[in-house]
Amino acid sequence: MLKTLFAAVVAGSAMYAGAPAAAGSTLDAVKERGFLKCGVNPGILGFSSIDRKGEWSGLDVDICRAVAAAVLGDKNAVELIPLGAKVRFAALHENEIDILSRNTTWTFKRETSLGLDFTEVTYYDGQGFLARKSLGAKKLSDLKPGTRICVTSFTTTATNLADYAKAYNFDYKQVPFGSMAEAKAALFLGRCDLLTTDRGALASIRATEAPNPDDFIILDDIISKEPLGPFVRGDDPQWRNIVRWVILATIEAEETGISSTKVDAARDGSDPVMKTMFGAAPGVGESLGLKDDWVYQVIRQVGNYGEIFARNLGPGTPAMLERGLNALWSDGGLMYAPPLR
Ligand SMILES: N[C@@H](CCC(=O)N[C@@H](CS)C(=O)NCC(=O)O)C(=O)O
């Protein structure tokens, strides 16, 4: 029942009044359990994927690890739970996970009607299109009427595309799927001409999953804003603050030039702001219910935002993504942390 309701809200056709949220502190539950339960995407290399050895990696996964480092002092104290688009919000509401860190877009409707809180943007994205090169198209307006577009249901993607088509008289044939695995397979088998989703995911899919990446092109058009980041339950402001400030701390550390290899020197140096930020002097722990060294643990074990981005998505990875909107504000991007003091 809940799952159906959530699906309806995600599809944008119903409002959810808010279920009786589970009382109690997520922080206490996580500490007592000894590990964090994090809902992630089943597989987009660079954001969240599992290798043959059963090791998870990706930007969304690193956010889970950063929270585990802050709360439990161990980035590996995480159970990663793969979730499809349809069930992701219900999993949070039904306490199956503590955090949803799964290429999920922050929207007005989701934050105000699901009984959930958005925490902080970890990746500014937008909806794009991966097209078969043989179509000869560089942009949507080059496409012939009736071109087939594969899309996954229960996403902002499906709604955006439908709205875009109405607004711009864009004539296409929607080929919907319940999961990304099916949508990708359909594109590669020629059952559709284009695949649409967030552009970051498309870059990864093209580079790592297309039989021949050179047969595919990402079109110029970006038809939406997709600010991605974790959601938590809406009844636990302390937990929301923890997740939010863990993310902000990774940005703040990059802004101040402190990486995983420099954090020890910063903590042990004479700058009072650094000493407090990294726990050599008291100040940042108590109001969150954490130890004073939580920022230190995050940066030491997982790294600052720049390190996390470079390791998972940057030019040295298969996705080969530029920082773009995800650069620091001081470099012309949107990443900005309020003072951590
Ligand atoms: N950011 C969008 C899209 C998220 C999304 O779930 N996208 C698809 C395409 S990458 C997906 O991950 N599907 C995986 C699945 O459900 O199998 C949203 O929050 O709705």
- Rounded Cα distance between 241 and 338, Å, is 13
User: Which residues, judged by CB distance below 6 Å to any ligand atom, belong to the binding site of ligand 1?
Assistant: 41-42, 44, 84-85, 103-105, 152, 155-157, 179-181, 197-198, 201, 226, 228
pLDDT band at 19 (very low <50, low <70, confident <90, very high): very low
pLDDT given at position 341: 86
Between the CA of 88 and the centroid of ligand 1 the distance, in Å, is 10
Q: CATH number of the domain at 1-126+225-341, please?
A: 3.40.190.10
Between the CA of 155 and the centroid of ligand 1 the distance, in Å, is 6
Same fold, 1-126+225-341 and 127-224: yes
pLDDT band at 13 (very low <50, low <70, confident <90, very high): very low
Between the CA of 339 and the centroid of ligand 1 the distance, in Å, is 33
Between the CA of 290 and the centroid of ligand 1 the distance, in Å, is 32
The DSSP 8-state label assigned to residue 21 in this structure reads P
Give per-residue pLDDT as tens, 233-271. Answer: 999 999 999 999 999 999 999 999 999 999 999 999 999
Cβ pair 75, 68 in contact under 8 A: yes
- Rounded Cα distance between 125 and 105, Å, is 9
Per-domain residue ranges of the chain:
1-126+225-341, 127-224
Average pLDDT over residues 304-311: 98
Coil, helix or strand for 238? Answer: helix
Residue nearest to atom 13 of ligand 1 (CA): 180
pLDDT given at position 23: 52
Name, in order, each residue with C-beta under 8 angstroms of 75's C-beta and a sequence gap of 6 or more: 65, 66, 68, 69, 297, 301, 302
Pocket test for ligand 1, best of 40, 45, 100, 155 (most atoms within 8 A of CB): 155
Fold of 127-224: D-Maltodextrin-Binding Protein; domain 2 (3.40.190)
Give per-residue pLDDT as tens, 122-136. Answer: 999 999 999 999 999
Asked if the model's pLDDT at residue 280 lies above 90, the reply is yes
